[in-house]
Amino acid sequence: MLSTHLLKLMVFGFIPFACMQKNVSADKTAAISSTKNGTAVPAEDLDVKNLETATLAGGCFWKMDACYQELSGVAKVAVGYAGGNLANPTYKQVCTRTTGHAETIEVQFDPKVVSYKTILEVFWQIHDATILNQEGNDRGDDYRSVVYYHSDAQRATAEAVKAQVNSSNLQGAPVVTTVEAFKNFYRAEDYHQNYYNLHQDEPYCATIVAAKVNKFMKLYHDSLKRNKVAKNTSTSNVFPDKIEKVVKTPEAWQKSLTKQQYYVLREKGTESPFKNAFWDNHEKGVYACAACQLPLFDADAKFESGTGWPSFYQAIRKNYVTEISDKSHGMTRVEVNCARCDGHLGHIFDDGPKPTGLRYCINSESLTFEKK
Ligand SMILES: [Zn+2]
């Protein structure tokens, strides 16, 4: 089994043979990270002026990032390095294990929605802290377990939760996590941010990281942003979680779609603004994929964007659409496709309204509309 350390070195080209295979992937990540989030985990209406910060080291930071992003009450997660002696270290420097840094995440959360105590309970659920300087297969002091507290209150809570973890024997052995005063945190390179969500198909993410994320999602099911937002969406229970892929030849698609639909959906075309069916439609109902009829957007999530294209702040379900980096026409954008038939829908931007802050800018040609 590859350690995360070795894998990351391979992925980002520090080991030459892998460099050639994976450069594209790192490049893509950097492009998407330039948007606010790169993934459509729904944002919440939080008190952003009164956020509290938790700084935690718990092994590979990709997994930590992926879990906390999903937790209700968390406004922002950044991955980086803490506890070392060098200012603004690079990943390569940290990997030499001479700088003293640990892979660390910085979680900004709204304490009125999620408590620091819960943040810490999650922390000890999602990493193995029983062996010094080791987490799973990842060995080295950069994978050590530390709570960096920002106040006396955080320190007291950390000591109390740690004592509880040990008295309940949560991890089957005492945890060796240290509780230390926060000194510094340096944000890691963009390609490490939101890594899991952007590389879920890579073997390490699909196995080791996914296992931890899935465990977290089960344990904290009712505390996930997606479930809290879904509860407020009238259509949330009508649509199944799993979707069957629809795959057809270009000839078959040509037969079932109009010329314009084919141009947009299969050739990634863009229709004219203000001269399309739904940009100005204000009726209640559901918009589905014109190619495979998968329901994609509820009219309740539609808003007036002024662009001349139908715009939505969220999809009916996160997994009903896929997002990929699009560098065509000299721009870097995130393309949105139908997850069932891979038909092109439009693009996603991070300048939308609450509650998600997202704008799905969609071609009418990609949609059909069913009135409620
Ligand atoms: Zn479709």
Burial (CB < 10 A; 0-12, 13-18, 19+), residue 207, is exposed
Q: Which tops the pLDDT comparison, 185 or 42?
A: 185
Query: In this predicted structure, what is the pLDDT of residue 38?
Result: 36
Query: In this predicted structure, what is the pLDDT of residue 31?
Result: 28
- Domain borders along the chain are 4-230, 233-371
Q: Which tops the pLDDT comparison, 55 or 6?
A: 55
Give the strand order in the sheet containing 311-312: 302-303, 311-312, 359-362, 344-349, 333-338, 321-326
Tokens of 320: 């009903």
The rounded Å distance from CA 247 to ligand 1 centre is 10
pLDDT at 19 over 50: no
Active site residues: 60, 361
What is the overall mean pLDDT for the chain? 86
pLDDT at 1 over 50: no
d(CA 8, CA 15): 9
pLDDT in tens, 114-148: 999 999 999 999 999 999 999 988 899 999 999 99
> Which CATH class name applies to 4-230?
alpha beta
Its pTM stands at 0.57
The rounded Å distance from CA 296 to ligand 1 centre is 9
The rounded Å distance from CA 270 to ligand 1 centre is 16
Omega of the bond leading into 355 within 30 degrees of 0 (cis): yes
pLDDT > 90: what percent of the chain?
A: 69
Bridge partners (DSSP) of residue 148 are 55, 180
The rounded Å distance from CA 274 to ligand 1 centre is 23
d(CA 128, CA 211): 13
Tokens 């479930």 sit at which residue?
227
The rounded Å distance from CA 286 to ligand 1 centre is 14
d(CA 131, CA 250): 55
pLDDT in tens, 54-110: 999 999 999 999 999 999 999 999 999 999 999 999 999 999 999 999 999 999 999
Phi, psi at 337, each rounded to 5°: -120, 160
pLDDT at 232 over 80: no
d(CA 41, CA 67): 11
Burial (CB < 10 A; 0-12, 13-18, 19+), residue 198, is buried
The rounded Å distance from CA 295 to ligand 1 centre is 9
Q: Are 325 and 271 in contact (CB under 8 A)?
A: no
The rounded Å distance from CA 302 to ligand 1 centre is 19
Phi, psi at 66, each rounded to 5°: -60, -40
Half-sphere exposure of 114 (CA within 13 A, CB side): 31
Give the strand order in the sheet containing 74-82: 178-181, 145-149, 52-58, 102-109, 74-82, 185-187
d(CA 327, CA 226): 29
Q: Are 57 and 146 in contact (CB under 8 A)?
A: yes
For residue 107, give the nearest of 170, 162, 57, 178 by alpha carbon: 57
d(CA 147, CA 122): 12
Query: In this predicted structure, what is the pLDDT of residue 230?
Result: 47
Query: In this predicted structure, what is the pLDDT of residue 17?
Result: 28
CATH architecture of the region 233-371? Beta Complex (2.170)
Q: Which of 87-91, 216-220, 236-240, 300-304 has the lowest mean pLDDT?
A: 236-240
pLDDT in tens, 36-54: 333 345 567 788 899 999 9
Query: How are beta strands 359-362 and 344-349 bridged, if at all?
Result: antiparallel
Bridge partners (DSSP) of residue 52 are 109
Residues 6+ apart with CB under 8 A from 336: 321, 322, 323, 345, 346, 347, 348, 360, 362
Stretch 295-324: mean pLDDT: 95
Q: Encode burial over 120-149: b for 16+ CB neighbours within 10 A, e otherwise.
A: bbbbbbbbbbbeeebbbbbebbbbbbbbbb
d(CA 231, CA 73): 15
pLDDT > 70: what percent of the chain?
A: 85
Tokens 């009238």 sit at which residue?
234
Tokens of 78: 């950044």
Split at pLDDT 50, 70, 90, the class of 225 is: confident
The rounded Å distance from CA 239 to ligand 1 centre is 15
Split at pLDDT 50, 70, 90, the class of 8 is: low
pLDDT in tens, 189-201: 999 999 998 898 8
pLDDT at 167 over 60: yes
pLDDT in tens, 235-294: 444 677 788 888 889 998 998 899 999 999 999 999 999 999 999 999 999 999 999 989
The rounded Å distance from CA 230 to ligand 1 centre is 22
The rounded Å distance from CA 105 to ligand 1 centre is 37
